[in-house]
Structure 1
């Protein structure tokens, strides 16, 4: 099939390359000239393991091209995937400005029957909205169908997730569109859920919100475990082995962040309020998550005798999770901003994120030199087995606050550190 991907960000580029792997021809459309030129040169504008070699492979094989020509791209392709951003509005709702603009362009340039697919995470009812916008902007009554086909990619493992999905969700009321979507995904072996577009749109929000709920639940439980001198790892293992619960997303830490969970939870809360049925559990999830970096700051203060003013704090990790350079809603920055407000001296390091801030250092050794405390904020593999004895000798005081519970407490204490984890007794 000839597939058009509108929006060449994280979701769009990954989706397009996966379709190339499945044997389809793909065009990536974006209005950002700099982004298009970088992609044509085989360079990603974000970090995702394994994706850049795939980009170069399919450029060389002429399976994927990139363009700014909206009219030609829409007219020459059979399937159109909308992969543009849906940022959070001031009221928590999803801003559909970019999605609506794409729909207008599709309507103006529709020349024959096409299936228009929303990959972007959009509120319930968006498929119906897009249908109206496209019809309103048509110059002639050309038939089309709108399908909801949400993505479930995890940053840091998107390539694996896309090639080995847990499920594929297809939301449409059209048998023609349903048949085309089945053919598109025929080589992927997983359950396919065929449903109404509204249900498909809700599935994406419900899935991300439930995972966020699990994270906030174990983080709040960890605070109680701290008070009772219980190792939260044991609790996580004990409940996670119950197949009804499973162990995923039950690791206590700094809280969730990134481009999806924060805005998706807030968007679902907003949708529910519009319907007069507030989601009280999710409102609590948001509150707990906002408090978790503050809880880590309390541990820093506990280590340093109650004050951080004029204390040097080394922060390892800026991305919201390992294996990505995404810092959107990262707990690290919440923690850093609060520490700066309390007049702490901050030094930071991240293997992939180059923030350009004056407090960022090139090496870990430079970051911890003269520090009164070291805080692990992102669980990068390279932070797991450092020369801790050597790093301790560079620090002013030997305090480690492990915001990800990723380090071996016994090893650290064995070289003279005082270790503070998240209920990691």
Structure 2
């Protein structure tokens, strides 16, 4: 039995993944976007983002007729029972989420909705947004439900199809249960809450994961000092079911489109309600320190000064499996290096064009392959955990790179492999073993 048509407003990572995956479950899904050229391209099966498995999922939806794309929110919402708001909620500059796009779309489509329609916020929004949307719509025959997403870029399709839980919250319990029913075939438990709890769950989850990453990076700094190995420490911690093994890998800090924005937003929400939350403040400080420490290692590897020194960067995106540069810790480290006069050559498997000098961003010459990035460099720095970086021929790197030091910010290379190719390896989270290069 059909549950009724689903409209998805916005086709970014969340909207496009949600629409394609819901269509794969047999629902009739119409995705609307304000960009007409993007709509035309998606209607042809062209995927505008790098997300493994999404192209196949989209193609099946288009072929079956369960997935269509239209221009504009009004066209998508017309006749739909469920309207999923998957719209941008960027940092407004003061830690608060900017909800102007959300409210503009709601005001536009509110009068057009069928009686009994359910507005569903999948965008990450502050506590109280469901109530605000209810007041904006001002219709007793339209319910508002909070249904936050828990997708990770690079694994979004897998996350959607294999969720840990489905969270829905509303003052209208029947509407919340109806939204949960959309995901019934996924077999995940449903957490039915108030709208306020549902909205806060998303922020709390992301901030907690950011704190976990900051914690293990600080443990990594301590491990280096005392002669321990953070990988071994994480392994020993991860067996404790209260802790778990995920998000215990050290690196150059955390970033991306969600963690920085959501952690800052949660801290702002707490401050607005006069609740002290020093853990969140420490989480940010620790993240900055992780990036400072990596930049310090590169400077030391270059002999104490970066002015005019050519540095090779492997990895620019905030993590492997995505082409997203937003709040990338790789770029944050690069910014520190550029500020000291380093000449940066970078390669990333997902980035095919130059990252130009924008405000608060370093100028990086992006090249088409990792060996070209290493050409003429004094130091090679691994910043993103793309698997290919652990499989490259370091002997070939050594033929084009005059410097003999690799700063491995992601634990991609072992000491013996580096030494066999004539490199000294500078790791993070453990002391260097000082194996004599061949």
Same fold by TM-score, threshold 0.5 exceeded? yes
How many residues align structurally?
420
Deviates more, 1:202-211 or 1:170-179: 170-179
Q: Aligned to 2:392, what secondary structure does the other structure show?
A: coil
Q: Which runs of 5+ in 2 are unaligned?
A: 356-363, 432-438
- Counterpart of 2:227 (choices 209, 226, 229) is 229
CA contact (8 A) 1:209 1:265 kept: yes
Deviation at 1:235?
A: 1.1
Cα deviation 1:360-419 (Å, max 9, x = unaligned): 111111110111000001000111111011211211111000111122222112222110
Unaligned runs of 5+ in 1: 136-140
1:163 CA drift (Å): 0.5
Instruction: Judge conservation of contact 1:297–1:335 (CA < 8 Å) in 2.
Output: yes
Which residue pairs with 2:360 in the alignment? none
Shift in Å, 1:192: 0.8
Residue of structure 2 in register with 1:151 after alignment: 149
* Structure 1 residue ranges, 4+ long, deviating more than 4 angstroms after superposition: none
Asked if 1 retains the 8 angstrom alpha-carbon contact of 2:81 and 2:114, the reply is no
Counterpart selection for 1:399 from 391, 405, 422: 405
- The CA deviation string for residues 274-330 of structure 1, in whole angstroms up to 9 with x for no partner, is 000121101110111122222101001121221111111000001100000011000
- TM-superposed deviation, 1:142: 5.7
Q: Kindly tell me: are residues 77 and 316 of structure 1, through their superposed partners in 2, closer, same or farther at Cα, counting changes over 3 Å?
A: same
- Output the CA distance in 2 between the equivalents of 1:172 and 1:339: 48
Secondary structure of 1:346's partner? strand
Deviations 1:19-39 (A, max 9, x none): 111110110111111221221
How do 1:130-209 residues align onto structure 2 when only pairs under 5 Å count?
130-135=133-138, 141=139, 143-209=141-207
Give the TM-score normalised by structure 1.
0.96
From 323, 326, 342, the counterpart of 1:325: 323
Structure-1 separation of matches of 2:309 and 2:11? 43
Specify the SS of the correspondent of 1:259.
coil
Q: Does 1:413 align with 2:416?
A: no
* 1:348 maps to 2:346: yes
RMSD of Structure 2 on Structure 1 (CA) = 1.3
Query: Is 2:107 the counterpart of 1:127?
Result: no
User: What's 2:358 paired with?
Assistant: none
Q: Tell me how far apart the structure 2 counterparts of residues 207 and 158 of structure 1 sit (CA, whole Å).
A: 16
Structure 1 counterpart of 2:434: none
Give the Cα separation in 1 of the matches to 2:75 and 2:51: 30
**Is the partner of 2:186 in helix, strand or coil?**
coil
Match of 2:78, SS?
helix
Q: CA deviation at 1:69?
A: 4.2
Q: C-alpha separation between the residues in 1 aligned to 2:5 and 2:296?
A: 55
Q: Which residue of 2 aligns with 1:270?
A: 268
Deviation at 1:355, TM superposition (A): 4.0
Q: Which deviates the most, 66-75 or 407-416?
A: 66-75
2:17–2:157 Cα contact (<8 Å) kept: yes
User: Aligned residue for 1:138?
Assistant: none
Residue 373 (structure 1) aligned to one of 379, 385, 389: 379
Contact kept, 8 Å, 1:113 with 1:142, in 2: the verdict is: no
Change (3 A) 1:70 1:369: closer
Q: Distance in 2 between matches of 1:332 and 1:355?
A: 16
Deviations 1:82-115 (A, max 9, x none): 0000000111111111111111012221232201
- 1:6 paired with 2:9, answer yes
Rounded to whole Å, the distance in 2 between the matches of 1:110 and 1:423 is: 55
Question: Which residue does 2:61 correspond to in 1?
Answer: 58
Report the TM-score, using the length of structure 2 for normalisation.
Answer: 0.93
Corresponding residue SS for 1:315? strand
Name the SS for the 2:184 alignment partner: coil
Deviation per CA, 1:176-208: give whole Å up to 9, x if none.
313322321211111110110100011100000
Contact between 2:411 and 2:428, CA under 8 Å: does it hold in 1?
yes
Distance of 1:178 and 1:311 partners within structure 2 = 58
Provide the C-alpha distance between the structure 1 equivalents of 2:134 and 2:266, rounded to a whole number of angstroms.
Answer: 22
